[in-house]
Amino acid sequence: MHTYTHVDNFYSPSGICTGIKAEGVTRVAIEPAKGCCEEIFSTKIKEAKPFVKWAGGKRQLIPTIDEFVAVANGKVAIDTYVEPFVGGGAVLFWILSNYDQIKRVVINDINVDLMTAYQVVRDAPEDLIEALAKLQSKYYSIKVDERMVFFNQVRDAYNKKELDSVENTSYFIFLNRTCFNGLYRVNRKGLYNVPFGKYVSPRICDETNIYACSRLLQKVEILCGDYSQTIGYANQHSLYYFDPPYKPLSMTSNFTAYSTTAYNDEEQIRLSAFCQKIDEAGSLFLLSNSDVSQVDHGNCFFDDLYRDFNIHRVRARRMINSVASKRGDVSELLICNFH
């Protein structure tokens, strides 16, 4: 007979602790365990983090953003949170972990494969983990200097766009973990073109985090398309957080290729008009963007666009930049319609 002990990193999305391990048995037994679920969930779920690395990720800015969310929450009882440019979801997972009273959460992004990945993580975490585990063991079984060939095969198969949603998501996460700098970038034809990243032991299958994300995503409505389709959620108890592709700080730093659609000044102007609408509907909003005035003194692009709102300049660390020397502290804008 075996003595069973709890393994604190196995969860099912239904909220039942399923991780128990028999002494001397390496494989985990999938059986319900009593008594420990709540405690483990409440500590571990808080650690859910984005399941993909994403350019413009807001992890570093979370303490600052949280201060603004707390102020908003003190002004009105927020029951709906909307994130129309969700990307990797650093702020989303923070909100889901820390603001229990928000009953309705809506996310959107124009990137189809990203939003499919959110759906798969929410609805089919077991299948996804199985597919990722296979990719990971295949990848680790290949000699380090021969792995690029496998990476290119996966990228070609992914670009054929013939995969089912679970397989597509497993390839999407695999490429994100093994490509150069965790970037997602497509060419004009919409084909993913980031090169191999040469990491020795990238974490391709992070089972614990996928289950933690899945559990938190259960109450999330997932949309895919232009951010304007989120207008229907604007009311006096909703908070929007907008994190659009940033206006480039210089002509050479124009990383805005998350999708085939260009994100130019006209798009920034369209978004400011959308914020006006959200404001008129009585919703609160918070919006991030670059502070172009720090490199181009006298450039009042955002100061003019958002003159009716409150503009704050905050310090942020930017991690994704292909040139190491350009990763560092910059100031960014946080614009909101509340004090």
Ligand X SMILES: C[S@@+](CC[C@H](N)C(=O)[O-])C[C@H]1O[C@@H](n2cnc3c(N)ncnc32)[C@H](O)[C@@H]1O
Residues forming contacts to ligand X in the complex (CB under 6 A) are 54, 56-58, 84-85, 87-88, 90-91, 108-111, 226-227, 243-245, 258-259, 263
Least separation, in Å, of the C-beta of 295 and ligand X? Answer: 18
Give me 11's structure tokens: 């969860």
Per the CB < 8 A criterion, the answer to whether 193 and 186 are in contact is yes
Least separation, in Å, of the C-beta of 20 and ligand X? Answer: 35
Least separation, in Å, of the C-beta of 189 and ligand X? Answer: 17
Beta bridge partners of 201: none
Least separation, in Å, of the C-beta of 245 and ligand X? Answer: 5
Which residue's CB is nearer to ligand X, number 90 or number 128? Answer: 90
Which residue's CB is nearer to ligand X, number 153 or number 260? Answer: 260
Least separation, in Å, of the C-beta of 83 and ligand X? Answer: 7
Cα separation, 128 vs 173, whole angstroms: 10
Which residue's CB is nearer to ligand X, number 20 or number 286? Answer: 286
Which residue's CB is nearer to ligand X, number 11 or number 263? Answer: 263
Q: Where are the beta strands (DSSP E) in the chain?
A: 4-6, 19-22, 28-30, 80-83, 104-109, 220-224, 238-242, 284-290, 310-318, 328-336
Least separation, in Å, of the C-beta of 33 and ligand X? Answer: 34
Residue that the structure tokens 């650093």 belong to:
90
Least separation, in Å, of the C-beta of 112 and ligand X? Answer: 10
Which residue's CB is nearer to ligand X, number 147 or number 318? Answer: 318
Q: φ, ψ for residue 192 (rounded to 5)?
A: -65, 125
* C-beta atoms surrounding 140 within 10 Å: 12
Cα separation, 94 vs 243, whole angstroms: 15
Give helix then strand counts, H and E, for the chain: 10, 10
Least separation, in Å, of the C-beta of 334 and ligand X? Answer: 13
Which residue's CB is nearer to ligand X, number 139 or number 258? Answer: 258
Beta bridge partners of 205: none
Please name which of 200, 213, 172 lies closest in space to residue 51, comparing C-alpha atoms: 213
Which residue's CB is nearer to ligand X, number 109 or number 291? Answer: 109
Give me 243's structure tokens: 């994190």
Which residue's CB is nearer to ligand X, number 20 or number 110? Answer: 110
Distance of CA 17 to CAs 7, 8, 37, 93, 329, Å? 9, 8, 5, 21, 41
Contacts of 177 (CB under 8 A, 6+ apart): 53, 199, 202, 203, 204
